[in-house]
Structure 1
Amino acid sequence: MTAIEKDCDILARTLWGEARGEGLSGQIAVAWTIRNRVFDGNARSWWGEGYVGVCLKPYQFSCWNKSDPNFPYLSGAKEIPSKQFAQAKRAADLVISGAEPDITGGATHYYASTMLKPPVWAEQAKQTLRLGNHIFFKDVP
């Protein structure tokens, strides 16, 4: 697998784990938050390096936590349903290639609107988009 194929695969797995219940536009928005972290302008970013580094950064995307019910699917121990994964792969391809614009307005964070209490970091951040079950932010302190 080439580096670009690995980036696309890990990004698609992250999208499946984080936003499989969303439509294509919702998955594209989540992918853009990851891309915004990848290209944050720092050579050695805190977020990690490249799509793989950003997606797999510990505790940034809960679907990759070993205790998360999504982890067995993302790690390959269980098979991801192909129809759901196909949409996530499409969203990953569109964002990595730059074929879709950033509808998040530069967001680097999001959370699910189903959370009982918003994360502390959201209090001082700038909300940029509400789409499906996610709320997107930038300028997070």
Structure 2
Amino acid sequence: MKLKRIIMGFFIFTVLCAGVMASVSPAMAWTYRIKKGDTLFKLSKEFGATVSALKNNNGLRTADLILAGDTLWIPDAEAEPMQNSRGQSDLYLLARLISGEARGEPFLGQAAVGAVIMNRLNSKDFPNTIAGNVYKKGEFESVSNGQIWEEVALSALKAAEAAISGYDPTGGALYFYNPAKIHSKDNWIWTRQVIGRIGRHVFAI
């Protein structure tokens, strides 16, 4: 009888612990600490969510009731950030590249950078893995200068997931560049056919 009680107690303890662990993860990874100057409109563009969704998810009555230092819960925070055939390592590596190359860009621009990498996987002219493209020698400034290892923005994670899931606002681009950073008229990138521009980046094939 005593042994039975011990076993039953351990079972209940295990179930309770599992419930606690499930309730705290991974939602905490999908919160944002509000900074001075933030507005719901600005954050909606950053995270790819609507103002209405941000308000509803945080119990806000108006878009003006956010204060610096408060925590904002992002819509779908309770969901796992990756629900497809590619692994977490691919997701986070792509998010790191997006964060390094498109920091400060709107969500559309960040997703576009991710889409370029995904498009390259289907081209015979590029490596067929995300890592192979990201670490291709001399390809990306953020890899060369180490910015790829800085803190990853939440918007970059969401943009990476969108790109891996097939979202491509570029229409098939294989290249992107910031023309303001290219000072040589003879740079090979000028020979590529431009198909669009999002934010500071030009997208080409």
Question: TM-score category by the smaller chain?
Answer: 0.7 to 0.9
- AA paired with 1:120? N
Which structure has the bigger radius of gyration?
2
Answering whether residue 181 of structure 2 is matched by residue 104 of structure 1, we say no
What's the TM-score, normalizing by structure 2? Answer: 0.53
Question: Deviation at 1:133?
Answer: 0.5
Give the residue type in structure 2 aligned to 1:28.
A
1:56, CA displacement in angstroms?
Answer: 1.4
Partner of 1:51: 130
Deviation beyond 4 Å, 4+ runs, structure 1: none
Runs (5+) with no aligned partner, structure 2: 1-84
* Higher relative contact order, structure no. (Cα contacts within 8 Å, ≥ 6 residues apart): 1
Check conservation: 1:34, 1:108, Cα contact below 8 A. yes
Query: Cα distance, 1:69 vs. partner?
Result: 4.8
* Structure 1 Cα separation of the partners of residues 93 and 196 of structure 2: 24
The count of aligned residue pairs is 120
Show structure 1 runs of 5+ residues with no match: none
Map 1:1-141 to 2 at 5 A. Answer: 4-40=87-123, 42=124, 46-65=125-144, 68-71=145-148, 74=149, 80=151, 85-98=153-166, 100=167, 102-117=168-183, 120-138=187-205
Shift of 1:25: 0.2
Question: 1:34–1:51: 8 Å Cα contact kept in structure 2?
Answer: yes
Q: 1:109–1:136: 8 Å Cα contact kept in structure 2?
A: yes
Identity of aligned residues (%): 32
